[in-house]
Structure 1
Amino acid sequence: MKSKLFHIFLFIGYSLFSQTPDSLQVKEERSIVIKDTISQKEEYEPLAPSKAAFYSAVVPGLGQAYNKKYWKIPIIYAGIGTGIYFYRQNTKDYNRFRDAYKRRLAGFEDDEFQGISTDRLIDAQKTASRNRDVSIILSIAFYVLNIIDANVDAHLRQYNISDDLSLLPNVNMDSLDKQANYGLSFTINLK
């Protein structure tokens, strides 16, 4: 049995060697492609700061969305909304104090501020008026900061932060007394 298997494999092996190669066969040329190891600078589309500022002026937070800083949008609306909320609340308080004061001047003592004197009602009106003004200024400040932030953020997007910027510490020894001198120098290397 073993000899039969040996003869079969021997016969198959010789018959494989007896084949002639195809003369019409075309050899494929294999080209080696070497990857470029030099890193390509990424092209970026610079954002237009004026467009970001315009968007934020039209709709607060839209400039931040244009700059893809979505996390700033809730902060802007919280600041503007808080100012508007306190503006409305202080306006209601001011009207309540003013109406009670007018009723006291007319001779009625049946207002909601029974234990408060007339002078205190005048002070409460002034305080509510001042707080109302501060609230509207706060809302306007958040609105303006929203526009400024969108503009500055779009400008900073264009700022070059590459590996070519570096900081090299250097210690200089004083030749007279052989002590280290501390200082700051600015050196520009042009390539």
Structure 2
Amino acid sequence: MRNKLFHILFFLGSLSLFAQSDSLSVKEEKVLVVIDSLAPKEDYDPLAPAQAAFYSAVLPGLGQAYNKKYWKIPIIYAGIGTGIYFYVQNTNDYNRFRDAYKRRLAGFEDDEFQGISTDRLIDAQETASRNRDISIVVSIGFYLLNIIDANVDAHLKQYNISEDLTLQPKVEMDPINTVPNYGLTLTFNLK
């Protein structure tokens, strides 16, 4: 009888198990998705540095505009313009000194540099020529720096650098002497 009772209870228990498996319960989960609005992800463009450098080579400052660094454009034009201004100024000075020297060699003493000796006119020509050369080198240097800056800035623009810079104290116990070691930790993530 016990055995029969056990079989009946087992049969009824298994029916309740099967009955539960037929009913489905749906569980609804809500997920909150947080989008980081501080640093939007941009697709990696391997040609962006080359484009920025090309634009700056064609028209100085155009690569900086491409990189959206508009504040650099006046600096570029000020550097190039200053070099060109001094190039023109030194060329005019050189021509004035040279013309006065040529007139002195021809025997005329009525030039604008009457109080200056002929040797000083030669030195003034050399100084004006050297300054003219330096001025053109400065202009070319600003032009090349413009191209290099656009290229490097376009490269660095594609790196996602986290805004989370943390500086925190750190205390560790020396396991041998059981003496605390104090330190300062700077953590930054390059992602």
Question: Please, what TM-score do these two structures have when normalized by structure 2?
Answer: 0.70
- Post-superposition shift, 1:107? 1.1
User: Which region of structure 1 is more displaced relative to structure 2, 45-54 or 162-171?
Assistant: 162-171
- In the TM superposition, 1:1-191 aligns within 5 A as 36-39=32-35, 42-46=40-44, 48-162=48-162, 169-174=169-174, 175-176=176-177, 178=179, 180=181
* Partners of 2:108 and 2:123 in 1: CA distance: 19
- Post-superposition shift, 1:176? 3.4
CA contact (8 A) 2:53 2:150 kept: yes
- Post-superposition shift, 1:70? 1.0
The one of the two structures with greater contact order (alpha-carbon pairs below 8 A, sep at least 6) is 1
Report the count of equivalent residues: 157
Higher relative strand content: 2
* Partners of 2:186 and 2:135 in 1: CA distance: 47
Change (3 A) 1:85 1:122: same
- Post-superposition shift, 1:166? 5.3
- Post-superposition shift, 1:177? 8.0
CA contact (8 A) 1:56 1:63 kept: yes
Q: Deviations over 1:74-107 (max 9, x none)?
A: 1111110110010011000001001111111111
Change (3 A) 1:139 1:33: farther
What is the one-letter code of the residue matched to 1:43? K
- Post-superposition shift, 1:36? 3.1
Of all paired residues, the percent bearing the same amino acid is 70
- Post-superposition shift, 1:160? 1.7
* Partners of 2:30 and 2:187 in 1: CA distance: 41
In structure 1, stretches of 5+ residues that fail to align are 1-31
- Post-superposition shift, 1:162? 2.4
Q: CA RMSD in A?
A: 3.1
